[in-house]
Amino acid sequence: MALAAAALVAASLAPARGEERDLAALREVFRRPEQTATVVAPEEEARARLGRHLFFERLLSGTGRMACSTCHDPARLFQDDRPRAVGVFYRALARRTPSLFDLANVRPLMRDGRAADLEAQVLMPILDPDEMGQTAKRLLAQLGQVSFYREAFAQIFPERGLTLDTLAQALASYVRTLESPRTAFDAWVEGDEAALEPEAQRGLALFAGKAGCVACHFGWRLSDDRFHDIGLPTNDLGRGRFDPDPSSRFAFRTPSLRWVGKRPPYMHDGSLADLRAVIEHYDRGGIARPSRSPLVRPLGLTPEEKALLLAFLESLSRPPPAEREVVRK
Ligand code: HEC
Ligand code: HEC
């Protein structure tokens, strides 16, 4: 349904003069649903608290030096600012660390979708020899020696105690609680006209019109959570590594654009240094190859249009005006 709405709006704004049209209809395309997190049951709250301890726990790595938070740094929107992640023994990994905000209802996970859900995902970095380099046996033995964990797992998972499964459930429950703060754009979506300055509003019209971004970036997280090849020069087959569909070659999951301006560099490999470079990439349309999405093509944006698009992306990356005042005091 959201897809149909996005397509409809994109079509209605398609002519370049669309800028002047009423943008109000777009609010529905980006509105946040009331229930976005899944932490509701009290038992899940206790799991999430335990998961929070585990997220910062260095025993999760083979060297005892690395925690989830080493790469997913809470002070940096749960990512690490590096083009590609660095694993145990300083091993360079193939992909960039993504932010962990707003994943409660996202499935499948990972940039190529290889993790069915959060419970499956959270064990992957721990057991990957290049990432955290821990083994299941050593992990359970080491955590089992810490009385805090023995007691917490016994209390929260009475029948089962500490196992790989319960560990994964606790970590997944914690990740589900991570929600990104509100933005200026959210305030505009909720009806505060002044929250989005005129340039950003015109940038939004381009985002949904001539530039065609809304075809993949829609909903409150500005993502369709699907996989596309956007024509980047890369040797990484992405979803094509295990999905035989030809359009899966070089395809990655559309990232959320919430707070996007605060977490360069961009793309699965961190290959684009800033938002200007991203806009230039889309304007050129990337590499024309059979797998490239038909929605990505040369756009012919003028310098002014690029600046407007940038103003819109920046409105996704700062707090609403009212909350900015509070911070300044
Ligand atoms: C060495 C750095 C590093 C560490 C340590 C690390 N991660 Fe990650 N994380 C990554 C990278 C890189 C990816 C993207 C991998 C991919 O998509 O192929 C990722 C992906 C994820 C995702 C999927 C996000 C999405 O949008 O699909 C989740 C969830 C996640 N990590 C949680 C964790 C948890 C929980 C831990 C600790 C158990 C952890 N990570 C440890 C680097 C790290
Ligand atoms: C065909 C679907 C599609 C269209 C159309 C599209 N995007 Fe994307 N976008 C993606 C995918 C997929 C990625 C991730 C690619 C990767 O990681 O290699 C992405 C990544 C991005 C990123 C980087 C986010 C990050 O966290 O690294 C930004 C910014 C972005 N797009 C903005 C735009 C803008 C602006 C437009 C319009 C000019 C646009 N997108 C059009 C699918 C699309």
Structure confidence at residue 14 (pLDDT):
47
- Closest ligand to 78 CA? 1
Smallest CA-to-CA distance from 218 within 17, 32, 15, 19 is with: 32
Q: Which of 176, 199, 232 is the last residue of a domain?
A: 176
Check whether residue 283 and residue 194 sit in a common domain: yes
Domain extent at residue 129? 42-176
CATH code for the domain of 309: 1.10.760.10
Check whether residue 85 and residue 216 sit in a common domain: no
Q: Residue 227 above 90 pLDDT?
A: yes
Average pLDDT (272-281) is: 98
Structure confidence at residue 322 (pLDDT):
80
C-alpha to C-alpha distance for 254 and 113, rounded to whole angstroms: 11
Structure confidence at residue 16 (pLDDT):
43
From ligand 1's centre to the CA of 254, what distance in Å?
16
Average pLDDT (88-96) is: 93
311 versus 22: the higher-pLDDT residue is 311
Does residue 296 have its Cβ closer than 6 Å to ligand 2? Answer: yes
Token output for 229: 């090849």
Check whether residue 152 and residue 24 sit in a common domain: no
Q: Residue 6 above 70 pLDDT?
A: no
Structure confidence at residue 3 (pLDDT):
53
Check whether residue 16 and residue 59 sit in a common domain: no
Check whether residue 308 and residue 207 sit in a common domain: yes
Structure confidence at residue 178 (pLDDT):
95
Check whether residue 231 and residue 315 sit in a common domain: yes
From ligand 2's centre to the CA of 256, what distance in Å?
9
Q: Whose CA is nearest to atom 2 of ligand 2?
A: 216
Average pLDDT (4-26) is: 57
Does residue 111 have its Cβ closer than 6 Å to ligand 1? Answer: yes
Return the minimum-mean-pLDDT range out of 14-28, 41-55, 238-252, 253-267. 14-28
Q: Residue 224 above 60 pLDDT?
A: yes
Q: Residue 327 above 90 pLDDT?
A: no
C-alpha to C-alpha distance for 214 and 193, rounded to whole angstroms: 20
Give the rounded distance of the alpha carbon of 325 from its chain centre: 27
Average pLDDT (229-251) is: 97
